[in-house]
Amino acid sequence: MINNRNKDTLILFGKQLRKLRLEKKISQEELNFKAELSKNMVGLIERGEVNPTLSTLENLALGLGISLKELVDF
């Protein structure tokens, strides 16, 4: 279950992911492919609708070509 505090964190992380993705000029579809995620996962994460697992975060960082630390530093 996602409480309000967790929801706020998920929304902040989603904004961070979107910012980093746009800086790299990568589409959601391309990042889904590079990170080996399902078709709509990046959009769901960017909107704060899902709580990504650690392995998903690692895959996102690899897909963006950045460290996990950079990804979660918001």
pLDDT for 36: 97
What residue ranges define each of the domains in the chain, with the CATH number in brackets?
A: 4-72 (1.10.260.40)
Predicted local confidence at residue 3, as pLDDT: 76
Q: What is the pLDDT of residue 1?
A: 57
pTM tops 0.85: yes
**Using 50, 70 and 90 to split pLDDT, how confident is the model at 2?**
low
Segment 23-73, tens digit of pLDDT: 999 999 999 999 999 999 999 999 999 999 999 999 999 999 999 999 999
- DSSP letter, residue 40: T
